[in-house]
Chain A
């Protein structure tokens, strides 16, 4: 946990531990030597946490101005998967960091994302409300946080549990795209079907569609939100701005339909469409 002693970091570290996550180390420069919640050692650097406690995944909660450095520090310390929760990282920082991650062969989820949860393994590395999720065989990947909770909130009551849910984040430049996560779900024996939630802006959903067509054999159920957003206006997420026809919801839906995905007609139908697709 990078930024474990901060307001967000400490709150969510406690929630992750409650859920069952094995939190082995925290990092806050200058606060090394403390214990978080009487059990998790706090270090000054990520490297100390890796050397001492064998951490292999990190969650970044540090403020936007320092997030890029925190991610790079984690990778240099040998962390394999970095999950950056921080919202509001400058795009130029994201560009540099994503390039570095790629070059070092590491994996970055985010920035500006809710993280990852695997209900089947009782691991939560993120800020999502754990009690909504239930173990099962559907993987969920999404650009949005609360909309993922909405999706899961529709799935769980229908008896459709989840293997792993990944939030890739709402920024225009991010460490992992739909394609990366779809590839992982395709290989994952615990996942039978994939729910993919996209939105307006950019072309990540079209790239996903191309990938699905030739590389994904499992059923993909897809929702695209922002059909009613006016062009040129940023809808909260920095990536959610429609520029050009490719960024439109309709063009994304068309590509996914062509790729054979089950299209969720309205955000109210995520659960029911998934149920039909599974039958």
Chain B
């Protein structure tokens, strides 16, 4: 679960990380009031769940209440498109107004899970303010890593080693160690999957602060993280994805016209690959999951049919825990209830109760194309265009 910058900073601050003074505004009056408190000199930043906002005009340094207000008006007027969003962009509902600082040096700091090692790692780099992926590609020697033993946690000496590795002035070591230990504590206590501070800034006055911060909470740990200040801003995700999520379906919108409905994430990816290889393009990734019932399949079909980009549907089910007859009943119910015309549906069913499922679809007479293997499926899909 992604957090906004201001939520990430509030979380870090709560654990003792120094962050710039700032407040959140959702309208011009609030912007003016906050900017005024900073004497007009401040930074206005859009609060969105995607990166790349700086290059897209989402971060502005201003020196008067008037220009803060003008920039804010512009930012709040519609969606912002960045390199990491779709061409539609994402809505800007909130702005973070912060004090302007006299930054002399920018560093990089992050805490994340390394799946290969099965451990939490801390990464730091002298190359702050840049995309870390780019740094990793161009100058990997500039990235320092510390692997954390889960039974021990992060030790001060490890943080000190990083401070030395980053070439920090000795006067800053104390601040750096405290900041990193605090951020690590926040990461562990709130079940984060990522905390990224980029840049971590050194000011002319010799202060060390988290100028920008990203944080994500592990979705699977949300049941034990009930802090209300960490609420998810669902306005940042397309409505259709939110609908899928609240229905317990795993769904990702893509750009093609073949709506895919599959059980299992691996098989769903395989189905996308096969569709693509045949020269058609999937409209989505959709995994109905192992424990789906008729109602859930019904909802999954509804979601596919509600996507105006879907011109045909490919249902690929390998029945295991999920029985094919359950899927068939869901498809029949959803297509019969649909108010808009239903696009052609290609169905491949194997495994548990496949014969029963196929029989239900045949008898319902809803114009489903039943196929046996991947090749037949893709040929049918192509012939439908």
Interface residues of A (CB under 8 A from B): 8, 11-12, 64-65, 88-92, 94-96, 98-99, 114, 127-129, 132, 142-150, 153, 170, 172-174, 197, 199-204, 207, 223, 225-230, 232-240, 243-245, 266-268
Contacts and interface: CB of A to CB of B under 8 A. Distances in A.
B252 A235 contact: yes
A144 to B, nearest CB: 2
B224 A144 contact: no
A94 B351 contact: no
Contacts of A238: 219-220
Nearest to B266: A144
Contacts of A11: 321
A129 B321 CA distance: 7
A124 B115 CA distance: 28
B157 to A, nearest CB: 21
B263 A146 contact: yes
Given A94-B118, A203-B116, A233-B252, A144 B264 contact: yes
- B-side binding surface: helix, strand, loop or mixed? mixed
Nearest to B84: A232
B268 interface: yes
A227 B320 contact: no
A207 B274 CA distance: 26
B274 A90 contact: no
Closest 9 CB pairs of A and B: A144-B266, A236-B265, A146-B264, A172-B115, A147-B266, A268-B374, A267-B270, A90-B221, A146-B267
Nearest to B267: A146
Interface string B259-289: 0001111111111111111000010010100
B223 to A, nearest CB: 6
A236 B285 contact: yes
A199 B119 contact: no
Contact of A235 (B84, B218, B221, B285): B285
A95 B269 contact: no
A225 B218 contact: no
Interface residues of B, number: 57
A201 B116 CA distance: 10
Contacts of A144: 264-267
A267 B318 contact: no
Contacts of A132: 351
A225 B320 CA distance: 20
A95 B150 contact: yes
A61 B136 CA distance: 40
Nearest to B350: A153
B85 to A, nearest CB: 11
A185 B327 CA distance: 36
Contacts of B270: 147, 150, 223, 225, 267
Contacts of B318: 146, 149-150, 153
B375 A268 contact: yes
Contacts of A240: 265, 269
B250 A236 contact: yes
Nearest to B317: A146
B266 A146 contact: yes
Interface in B219-270: 219-221, 223-224, 250, 252, 254, 262-270
B109 to A, nearest CB: 17
Given A146-B320, A172-B113, A91 B220 contact: yes
